[in-house]
Amino acid sequence: MPKIHILSDDNVIKTNGEKTLLDVLRDNGYFIEAPCNGMGTCKKCKVKIIDGLSEETVLSCEYKVDKDIDLAFFDEGKAENLLTSDIDNFDTSDSVLTMKTHVFEDNRDTDSSWEDEYEKVFGHISFNVLKNTNFSKGEKHAIYLNNELIAIRDKNDDKIYAAAVDIGTTSVAISLLDLSHGKVIERASFVNPQISFGLDVLSRMSAAIDLKENLYKMQEQITKAIEEAILKIFKKYKLDIDSLYEIVFSANSVMMHILMGVDPTSLGIAPYKIVSYFNFEIDAKEIGMKLGKYTKAFTIPSISSYVGADILSGVNHIDIEHIDKNIMFIDIGTNTELVLKYKDHYYASSCAAGPALEGMNIEFGSRAELGAIENVFFDLDSGNKNIVVIGKEKAKSICGSGVLAAIREALKIGLIDYRGRLIKLEDLDEDDKRRPFLKEVDGKTVIDLGDIYMTKKDIRNIQLSKSAIMSGIVLLFNKLGMSADEVDDLFIAGQFGYHLSKDMLLDTYFIPKISEEKISYLKNTSLDGAISVVLSKKKRENLLSLSKKIKFLELSYDENYQKAFIDCSYFK
């Protein structure tokens, strides 16, 4: 059997030569970014095959190993600037996790059991608690989760920890909470390893549909990554993992299905029905997580098939019901979710904005990584281009915020008209001040960004994303009989939206023309919301009732959708 020698960790893998290199690497736990899920279109799964002094760059999704090879990965220089949470200290007086302490005397009455003695003080003892309890005299601590006894610990085991986890399609964020002292111990974030099965939720659903085994591989990828991140923190601070009593998960609907090991196929086939809203409290080991003896997993419920727990978590966290204003809450991304509160009415919708906002389907597009352009400024008078690159390196790609910035500047100086048409370089006079911002590549006019450029097709793909989002907003306005002027507060949540300035969004017409003062950035409300339902019984109890108040609008069923989509494609 051919052998693959991984140079980075000196590991050797055997293969039968039938699977692609990408699949072999996936099977053996190696993370390879493949946003197109091995279809050969994204060209991002490149690896180096080393043969003596020579090397060959191949796409791992197309390469089959028929001989022994040495393999090296490209250092993509990913920027791990992922949003976590700003919450540092907190009040635990209303926490769902509580403790009761009692000192037991040496009772030699053989007519009763230790279980009887403990139940008189602590209440009903389940078998899981029974088998893990050291029944003896002395000081004992009973741990309750929503008033249910989940553990009885010895005198020195008096700490209570919980974790909040936001599983995004692209990234994962974790906060470890110390409820004994009311503080966050540490935060962690990392790229979602499921990216090896595709950058967006549709790619991952397709992977699960193509092969049932892929569902369980993706589930294992995410549970193991979270498990390792949590264990790393516990080891660092020398904490007792058995004192981790709950993990709260917030995620979009597809990510939640995969986390729970539930086939998400029905989400991708009409009528796009969700299998479950996932309002569960289970043992963490039921989803394959090997943590503490008592660790529970709570899943925040979804609102609908494509408005997930991450959005409910966010609007619950900001206490949307008790804000006496008209509120728009928007999480911009590949799948953009909207919640609109108008008076006492709540509507939500989901817009398939597509992966262009994450750098896919863009000529030089990438995620926000080192070497990616993140902002652009054009000075028409001087002809200067100020290109802002992540890490202050030479530009090798452009991420979503950079694309929007380039379009903003191109609109401002008239390189693009309101229809999205890019002016041709040949149509400009020799003394036209716009000439320095354009160049020709293969006979076609492109926007010149120094080492890279943007094409007419790139602009069109961003228009499609913009149109998907704005048409969703317009149809929600129509449903509620309101206008943009009536929006009192517009909250922009999430990883991607946080890096988009107000002028990027307003000047490219990605959001309605409203006063900048009404726009606020909330960072990772999905994670903050997960934290809040650990710290507040009221917030936990409110999740289900709030989810039922929010009505979902399926845009594709609206008779005005096609017209709204076309109208919203314009930059005006």
**Confidence at residue 77, expressed as pLDDT on a 0 to 100 scale:** 42
E strands, 291-435, in order = 296-299, 327-331, 335-342, 345-352, 372-379, 384-389, 397-398
Residues 402-451: tens digit of each pLDDT: 999 999 999 999 999 999 999 999 999 999 999 999 999 999 999 999 98
Closest C-alpha among 86, 56, 81 to residue 70: 56
Kindly tell me the sign of the dihedral angle through the C-alpha atoms of 83, 231, 311, 317. Answer: negative
- 556-569 residue pLDDT tens: 888 999 999 999 99
Rounded distance between C-alpha atoms, residue 172 and residue 87, angstroms:
17
| Unique residue bearing structure tokens 């059991």 | 113
pLDDT for the residue numbered 80: 42
Residues 268 and 335 sit within 8 Å (Cβ to Cβ): no
Question: Hey, what domains does the chain have and what are their CATH numbers?
Answer: 3-73 (3.10.20.30), 319-354+462-568 (3.30.420), 364-454 (no CATH)
CA 466 to chain centroid, in Å, comes to 20
Q: In which residue ranges of the chain is pLDDT below 50?
A: 76-81
Residue 354: strand pairing partners: none
